[in-house]
């Protein structure tokens, strides 16, 4: 899927200048996701909002599309394991 990037908007700041708390909204309009995150900096608040948005998107996905994909290294390990098991079986038979 190719989706547009989420947008982040600072919706509020509280506290004294040396101890501010930021509230940031993360919007993904195409998926109808809107969440808010808080943090001690704008960046921390954006990251908190992004994490919540990701969890909301994953929760909305059907179970089938959530299956983790095997990486190349995992595929190589599986193939190597199968080959080793086959060799053991041949040795046991022979």
pLDDT digits (tens, 9 = 90+) for 73-91: 877 777 777 766 666 666 6
Tell me: the pLDDT tens digits for 15-71?
999 999 999 999 999 889 999 999 999 999 999 999 999 999 988 877 665 566 667
Q: What is the pLDDT of residue 45?
A: 97
Please name the residue that has the structure tokens 């053991």: 88
Residue 19 is classified by DSSP as G
Q: What is the pLDDT of residue 94?
A: 54
Q: Is the dihedral of CA 76, 77, 80, 81 positive or negative?
A: negative
Q: Do 53 and 28 touch, CB atoms closer than 8 A?
A: yes
Q: Do 53 and 33 touch, CB atoms closer than 8 A?
A: yes
- The answer to whether domain 7-62 has CATH 3.40.50.2000 is no
């Amino acid at each position: 899927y190719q989706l547009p990037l989420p947008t982040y908007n600072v919706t509020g700041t509280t506290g004294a200048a040396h101890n501010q708390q930021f509230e940031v909204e993360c919007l993904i309009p195409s998926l109808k996701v809107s969440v808010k995150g808080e943090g001690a900096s704008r960046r921390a608040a954006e990251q908190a909002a992004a994490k919540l948005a990701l969890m909301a998107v994953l929760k909305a996905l059907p179970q089938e599309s959530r299956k983790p994909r095997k990486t190349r290294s995992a595929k190589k390990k599986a193939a190597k394991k199968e080959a080793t098991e086959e060799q053991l079986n041949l040795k046991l038979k022979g």
